A and B are shown apart, each in its own frame.
Chain A
């Protein structure tokens, strides 16, 4: 290693980043776009759900249906017949139907046991589950008002008192935006780095570099350092946007957040450099980077989908996905705080992976063309 050579290479790398539109696109434009998309666009919280109400007039029915009108979760549409409502459901105009039979009022008064038909469009199972819970909430509210009107209180044997820690309002943004940091750093560390190294092979600049007295260690370090800085800058940008723009609470310390991110960045860079050592062609290295790093970071990291719910073989597979450890740290540091057992265990895994990938790259890199 030699200070002057390394400095020269690093300066070159920075100049290239600044002047290469595709580097800017991956390192700046794409992260901002993704953050905006996830911060504003994507939400797993159901909005006001279009709901069909089919009910002949009766005072009891009006009382219940009024509950749907007042609820912030629904946009009710009245339909005269069940057939019309069903057709609306089939055409995706409404997501669910609440159906009261014509004898609803009578049965309720007479037998105290009337059925409320609820039909939900189960295609989007996640959405359907949420819809069902919202309808249940309206129903319970209606029951307790009914009981109040009769001068008693609704008496159910056991009621659940839910306390949701860390994210009482269940804003999906609070975990999607921090998780996105892992995606963005994967993009910069693995995809972009793999691309720039393959490009040097393709354009013949690597041959010219190798003909100089520069060592392979210098070349590797000169890729590591600038893209490390770039990745950390992307991460800092994401944190700033998360906290100030999307009001995501950050309960842990910045120190832990940045240290863990630095560790993950090393893993991502290790993967990127390894890919470009194996594939000296930009197209192939991009394909490998997307399939081996980007997609797993999206799907197998716990960023969106719950890891515990996956089948055992897939769950085992997630243990070799570096992003899973980082997402765990991110969601904890943002949502809960510096919970040391979580942070340390996952950081240890990241350390091991960084050592593995960087070590393997080092072993495989030779200052030769064949």
Chain B
């Protein structure tokens, strides 16, 4: 590294770290987000509040309900005594679902006749409703299997034996937490680089830089390195938190992961510097970072699968560096992937990095004043 770039790098670090407020923005938001996302962002539902309306007095219905009471997924909130009570408890959001057992339930079962259980679910949040419905089915199926065996019912000729690979208990934390590594790394790199040129343009120091012997490429490198180093440190810290605090297993190749971190940081920095070079003021820079970040997170597959999106939107996601990095993160964390499987992801990131950096360096000098 030449002395000129070294001077620039030192200055960039000082500018980022000397100010108390600037230091805080590098530490506090990522920390808060790690805690909030790590704990709050989950699709595993538990403590589903439910009410029971049991018109059957028999043992079979009690046996079935006992299974719900014993499950950590369900939490019984109320016992109803009349059908008209069902609507209010659901409407008021006191319970998410009502299990309604008819008066013939035990009698039917003992007579070897199929019995029915009605489950009324609040569909206002359709995802929660679908998940809750699945849990109800699982409890009832377990009951069925035992009841069929104990009471000599005919067994289905073929049983499903379901196993889930890479995440046997289907913990959504294992899915979300590696994603946070990508999300926060992106936030930190964009915050450190996205305003660095705009801030200098606003205060006039950028002109001062341009009249020095520094070449555009040197400015680019000088402005990239601090973002890179800080991004790398924070990424490592969050990775460690994911493994040691949130207990997400890391099964793949660390080398493959860090190769991904490397190209991802480059692409994030490139985009940050590009936004920054287009902006004249810090306000525009902040806004640009925000306008990029929100869709980048939504379209990355962080919470909702890319495959669920319409085709046109799926093509749009190819411009989102986070999309590639999430595949690398989840692949190396959970699927035990090595670098060879992830080639196309690295290539996508590298292409974005190259394009954005080139454009940023060009914009340094060619942006109309």
Contact = CB atoms under 8 A, between A and B. Distances in A.
Interface residues of B, number: 103
Closest 10 CB pairs of A and B: A122-B167, A167-B123, A122-B164, A335-B124, A126-B43, A125-B170, A170-B126, A164-B123, A125-B172, A41-B313
A335 B123 contact: yes
A132 B164 CA distance: 9
Interface stretch (A6-14, A133-141, A211-219, A353-361): A133-141
B140 A160 contact: yes
A162 B298 contact: no
A302 interface: yes
B207 interface: no
Interface of A: 22, 25-26, 30, 33-34, 37-38, 40-47, 60, 64, 89-92, 104, 108, 112-130, 132-133, 135-136, 139, 143, 146, 154-168, 170-172, 174-175, 191, 195, 199, 281-284, 286-287, 290-291, 295-296, 299-300, 302, 304-306, 308-311, 313-314, 318, 328, 331-332, 334-337, 339, 341-342
B92 A157 contact: no
Nearest to B289: A286
Interface string B122-154: 111111111101101100100110011001011
Given A113-B155, A314-B40, 20 more contacts: A42-B304, A114-B158, A119-B165, A122-B168, A123-B335, A130-B130, A135-B160, A143-B158, A157-B151, A158-B114, A160-B119, A162-B136, A163-B120, A165-B121, A165-B122, A174-B126, A290-B29, A306-B42, A308-B48, A318-B40
A334 B164 CA distance: 36
Given A33-B295, A108-B157, A120-B162, A26 B121 contact: no
Given A120-B165, A136-B160, A161-B118, A332 B175 contact: no
A163 B121 contact: yes
A339 B115 contact: no
Contacts of B21: 281, 284
A25 B279 CA distance: 14
A139 B160 contact: yes
B91 interface: yes
B84 interface: no
A308 B175 contact: no
Contacts of B129: 164, 167, 170
A322 B119 CA distance: 32
Nearest to B341: A91
Contacts of B175: 123-126
A163 B355 CA distance: 52
B291 A25 contact: yes
9 contacts: A37-B295, A139-B158, A160-B140, A164-B126, A174-B126, A304-B127, A310-B40, A336-B91, A342-B91
B91 A339 contact: yes
Given A47-B308, A122-B165, A300-B36, A309 B45 contact: yes
Contacts of B151: 157
Contacts of B191: 287
A122 B165 CA distance: 5
Contact of A118 (B112, B127, B161, B282): B161
A304 to B, nearest CB: 6
